[in-house]
Amino acid sequence: MKIFLRSFGCQMNKLDSNLVVNSFLQGGFEFTEEVGEADVVLVNTCSVRNHAEERVLSLLGHMKHIRKTNPKLIVAVFGCMAQRLKEDLLNHPVVNIVCGPMQIPELPRLVNGAIENTKKQKAVSENIRQKAESEILSTLDDFEQDFDSVEENLPAQAYVRVMHGCNNFCSYCVVPYVRGPEVSRPAEKIITQIKKLTDAGVKQVTLLGQTVNSYKTEKLSFADLLYAVSKIEGVEWIKFVTCYPRNFDERIFQAIIDLPKVCRYLHIPAQSGSDRILKAMNRGYTCEEYLEIINKAKEIVPDIAVAGDFIVGFPGESDEDFRKSAELIEKAQYKNSYIFKYSPRPGTRADEKLADDVPNEIKKQRNIELLAVQEKISEEINKTFVGKTVKVLVDGTSKKGHLDSANGKELPQLIGRTAGDFIVVFDGPANLAGQFVDVNITRASALTLFGEKK
Ligand code: 5AD
Ligand code: SF4
């Protein structure tokens, strides 16, 4: 039996897809890159913006044609969109299986069921905001431990979930409704899992959570977890995403200073620089309070690299509000920012209470403008690396061509990241993938540092 998998969305989804792949491999399935030769199509979906859902629907439309030549094709949709739409997605003519993100351990059983009898199969949380039964959570924990592995395309790197869900209810965000309430995973399980990963050659672990700095169990806070993970032999770099800029425990910054393995990188979305919009977004902080956290981080860890997220065109966003976001980018001096156009999500408070009143043309324009402000700062920050040597963990060969072309087959262009998450491109042998390399930086653009292997 051959499976074709498509995965949309964030790091959390990539991790889920990786677990699902490994569980099917163990179940005797094979994977194919050719949808035409697949018996089963798995689609991991994202609901964070409408565009992500549209892409899934268009893929499902394409599956209708494939089904014509292969009537037995099984199509399973899992992840956030499956949880959001439940039956509505199951009623889609091409879909056989709908499976929520909390139910992914059941996917192999559902697929086998669909292969045996052609009945549609569904596994989703009926009441997603109710804390999942401990049995479901421990099944998920075991699934995580059993099937986590080195990332397929990133040798020596692995993602480890430290918490599920979110309780923040930012007014625009669908995550609390599709990933459920915040639950921190037991530290012992996380540690055992990381030890297993390092035994398999992992050097960098990225701890994942929607609001990773709020990690809390009876025994440990997130800072404690960083100390515990740091003790694991074989772990060389520890990264963590994403932080939430409220109730920030300063001991996390202290841990970054104390622990050389913890990377000096913080992804801490602001979403807007306008207090009025932040309030309407239900973010729970003002622009000033946000900046205080960033400044505190920089005071304790002077060379920390900070990345942000912004939404443009949130309901009611005036030119003045928008200008404040641009000002915040200047003040925070982000190394990079991810900028999104507001997309109303059904079921969220912003969608129910506020009109999506910023025209798409203006959203587009603000997106471009904010990117330009950020690009200038990114370039300035990147230029400070020219003439310096940085340590890079190599991802592999670069898929797309960069400023320079590679120096031939023996020395293709390699791409990797520094501890501060800066992207570095340089020529070197492909077998350096998964290795740490010192690179002299010779040139910098807004997105990339270019250099030569030392
Ligand atoms: N519209 C646009 N962007 C959104 N994000 C989350 N929800 C929405 C939405 N409805 C952005 C936020 C978040 C990132 C993952 O996606 O910036 O940090
Ligand atoms: Fe969504 Fe806000 Fe939770 Fe992030 S913190 S996942 S933006 S609700």
DSSP class per residue in 358-370? S-HHHHHHHHHHH
Residues 6+ apart with CB under 8 A from 157: 150, 151, 202, 203, 204, 205, 206, 393, 395, 434
For the beta sheet containing 265-267, the strands, ordered from the edge strand earlier in sequence to the opposite edge, are 265-267, 305-312, 336-341
pLDDT at 350: 98
Indicate if ligand 2 lies below 6 Å from the C-beta of 170: yes
Among the listed residues 99, 177, 86, 181, the one whose alpha carbon sits nearest the alpha carbon of residue 133 = 181
Give the position, in ligand 1's atom list, of the atom nearest the Cα of 48.
7
CA end-to-end span of the chain: 47
Q: Can you state the angle between helices 222-230 and 251-258, rounded to 10 degrees?
A: 10
| Cα(181)–Cα(167) distance, integer angstroms | 6
* Mean pLDDT (whole number) for 91-101: 97
Q: Which residues in 341-379 are b (16+ Cβ under 10 Å) and which e? A: bbbbbeebbbbeebeeebeeebbeebbebbbebbeebbe
- Tell me the pLDDT band of 399, cut-offs 50, 70 and 90: confident
With vertex at residue 328, the alpha carbon angle to CA 373 and CA 376, rounded to the nearest 5 degrees, is 20
CB-based contacts of 226: which residues, under 8 Å, 6+ apart? 238, 240, 252, 255, 256, 259, 262
Q: From the CB of 244, is ligand 2 less than 6 Å away?
A: yes
Model confidence at 100, pLDDT cuts 50, 70, 90, reads very high
**Ligand 1 within 6 A of 345 CB?**
yes
pLDDT, averaged across the chain: 95
Per-residue pLDDT averaged across 195-213, rounded? Answer: 97
Mean pLDDT (whole number) for 11-38: 96
User: So what's the pLDDT on residue 404?
Assistant: 59
Q: Which atom of ligand 2 is nearest to the CA of 210?
A: 6
CA distance 413 to 389: 18
Residues 100-127 have a mean pLDDT of 93
Contact call for residues 364 and 421 (beta carbons, < 8 A):
no
pLDDT tens column, 341-398:
999 999 999 999 999 999 999 999 999 999 999 999 999 999 999 999 999 999 999 8
- Mean pLDDT for 285-300 is 98
Give the pLDDT mean for 256-268. Answer: 98
The 10s digit of each residue's pLDDT in 49-65 is 999 999 999 999 999 99
> Interior CA angle at 164 toward 163 and 166, to 5°?
105
Mean pLDDT of 164-187: 96
State residue 405's pLDDT score: 59
With a 6 A CB cut-off, is 169 part of the ligand 2 pocket? yes
pLDDT at position 402, please?
A: 58
Q: Is the pLDDT of residue 326 over 80?
A: yes
Distance 100 CA to ligand 2 centre (A): 18
Q: Distance (Å, rounded) from C-alpha 452 to C-alpha 439?
A: 5
Closest residue to atom 5 of ligand 2, CA basis? 168
- Regarding the beta carbon of 48 and ligand 1, being less than 6 Å apart is answered yes
Closest ligand to the CA of 177? 2
Question: Which is it for strands 265-267 and 30-31: parallel, antiparallel or unpaired?
Answer: unpaired
pLDDT reported for residue 133: 83
Residue 374 tokens read as: 């950020």
- What integer is the mean pLDDT of 415-423? 98
Ligand 1 contacts CB of residue 351 (under 6 A): no
Ligand nearest to the CA of 363: 1
DSSP labels for 255-285?
HHHH-TTB-SEEE---B-S-HHHHHHTT-S-
Is the Cβ–Cβ distance between 227 and 257 less than 8 Å? no
Domains of the chain with CATH codes: 2-123 (3.40.50.12160), 134-381 (3.80.30.20), 389-453 (2.40.50)
Question: pLDDT class for 407, splitting at 50, 70, 90?
Answer: low
Give the pLDDT of residue 118.
Answer: 73
Exposure string over 45-64, b if 16+ CB within 10 A, otherwise e: bbbbbeebbebbeebbeebe
Q: Is the CB of 340 under 6 A from ligand 1?
A: yes
Per-residue model confidence (pLDDT) at position 371: 98
Give the pLDDT confidence score for residue 368 in this predicted structure.
98
